[in-house]
Amino acid sequence: MKNLFKFIVILTIIVIFIYAFSSSFISREMENLAYVVGLGIDKDEKDPDKIKVSFQFVQLYALSDNASSEAPPTFINSVTGNSINSAINEMNTYIGKELNLSHCDIIVFSSDFAKEGISTEIYSLVNNEDIRPSANLVISSSTASSYLENVKPNIEKLVTKYYDTFPITSAFTGYTQDISLGKFYNRLLSDCWDNTVALGEVFKSESSSEQSGSSSSSGGDESKSSESEGMPSSQGQESQSSGSENSQSSSSASSQPSGSQDSQALSEGQSANAFNISGKRGTQNIGVGVFKDDKLIGKLSGIETICHLLIINELKSCIITIPQSSDNSDNNDNISSNQGIIDLTLSSKTRPKISVDTKDENPTICIDLFLNADILTVNQSSDYNNSYTLEEVSSGAKHYIEDKMNSYVNKVSKELKTDVDGFARFAIKNFLTESDWSNYNWQSKYENAKFIINIDINVTSSLLLTELD
């Protein structure tokens, strides 16, 4: 009797397991799923109350062992809907398979869409159990769909591998920032942070510019031809004007804005197009977009992004270029073509020390940065092992970084009026109760904050060449 009872129990358990797992396995196996690796969100051109959602897929057959060594082809399908969830549902019908977002590594918003607010979409994405919080966020200066179309990694075989690796370059270049969906969501709910998101651009390389130069010559169709190449008309104008700017003399160059000189003379990147990169991949990620609540309100250039990462201690190392002569330390933006320059590898020695004094009407924010720098520039007359020379370089680097830091903090506080560096985290410690903190009204006081920036930099020579007997 006991054996019969055990047999019935075991048989029942087996039947339950077979019934429970067989149906789910059949419905969720790879052949019945469509894997989304990239998601793009744009405004719908015809109906402003709807959004255009673009889905980037990788063809699974190309991932087999017998496939060629070339990168697996990707394709993009777009659908217009009232929300992200409705767009996903409509795409399920169109594809004929169930969309799986568990491998979605990048979520791209167009800048036009982000200017109107993205909180609804962020909440919907976070609430979707398939999407990982580690998915990267990017703000595209063009449409999100054109950004995804132009992502063609040259080194990585899989586009998903590229999506995993490109954000970490911020740690050793400083030109962009690694912002994930989960990180943006947490800061969106916080009262002590304003958000930033990596900027992405669709740009023309030198080779593609030569081929398409005639297409942009017509005045009336200029903006259309730029958009067809995935680049807004404003960027097209910048690329056209760069040729005439390069042919000007150094006297006319001094009248250009300092941001333009940073990207050209110092290679610190106002935008992707400023680097004049030649290659097959048509996208680049340089700078960050600045948010107020959930709306995009401004942008930071490459050097401004470096300042931002140094303050929040998210920069491992980067390369900056400073004038060789310390005599022009008060005017670092004006570097003539015949003036020497020095490349430095910059890194943080210790965590920055930040304090906020709220005793006066307006807060005083003190930022102490402790930095190390190695000299990379080498020429025949280099004497960077000399202590006096190192002191001169250290002084020049100190003045240069202080100047850039002061410009940066004044821009984000007084011009953009956003606390992207989280200074409120240090100010809130000065208040005993939450009501006291609320009554202080940090946001209005922060706009008039006084900044004291101290740079402690130790410049050493990385010169490996020595005199031989």
Q: Is residue 290 part of a domain?
A: no
Strands 106-110 and 51-58, by their bridges, are unpaired
Q: Is residue 370 part of a domain?
A: yes
Residue with tokens 């100010």: 427
The answer to whether the beta carbons of residues 55 and 91 sit under 8 Å apart is yes
Close Cβ partners of 404 (under 8 Å, ≥ 6 residues apart)? 303, 304, 306, 307, 332
Q: pLDDT-derived band of residue 21, with 50, 70 and 90 as boundaries? A: low
pLDDT at residue 437 is higher than 80 = yes
pLDDT at residue 452 is higher than 60 = yes
Q: Is residue 265 part of a domain?
A: no
d(CA 195, CA 300): 12
Domain span at residue 452 reads: 318-469
pLDDT at residue 417 is higher than 90 = yes
The answer to whether the beta carbons of residues 146 and 44 sit under 8 Å apart is no
Q: Which helix (H) or strand (E) holds 86?
A: helix 84-95
Q: Is residue 53 part of a domain?
A: no
d(CA 432, CA 429): 8
Residue with tokens 């950004």: 147
Strands (E), 301-350: 318-323, 341-348
pLDDT for 25 equals 47
pLDDT for 439 equals 93
Q: pLDDT-derived band of residue 73, with 50, 70 and 90 as boundaries? A: confident
Number of domains forming the structure of the chain: 1
pLDDT for 466 equals 47
- CATH of residue 396's domain is 3.30.300.210
- Kindly state the average pLDDT of the residues 179-201: 94
pLDDT for 277 equals 66
pLDDT for 250 equals 35
d(CA 445, CA 457): 31
pLDDT for 61 equals 55
- Kindly state the average pLDDT of the residues 332-342: 54
d(CA 55, CA 76): 5
Find, among 366, 352, 327, 371, the residue nearest to 460 by Cα: 371
Q: Is residue 227 part of a domain?
A: no
Find, among 314, 342, 334, 376, the residue nearest to 171 by Cα: 314
Instruction: Give the lowest-confidence range in 64-73, 136-145, 437-446.
Output: 64-73
What's the farthest any 2 CA atoms get from each other in the chain?
104
Helix %, strand %, coil % of the chain (to 5) = 40, 25, 35
Q: Is residue 456 part of a domain?
A: yes
Q: pLDDT-derived band of residue 20, with 50, 70 and 90 as boundaries? A: low
Structure tokens at 384: 């960077």
Higher per-residue confidence, 74 vs 428: 428
Torsion angle defined by CA atoms of residues 205, 209, 210 and 211, in that order, rounded to the nearest 10 degrees:
100
Residue with tokens 């006096």: 388
pLDDT single digits (tens) 74-121: 889 999 999 999 999 999 888 888 898 999 999 999 999 999 999 999
pLDDT single digits (tens) 359-383: 999 999 999 999 999 988 876 666 6
pLDDT for 70 equals 58
d(CA 186, CA 360): 31
d(CA 366, CA 134): 33
- Kindly state the average pLDDT of the residues 187-201: 93
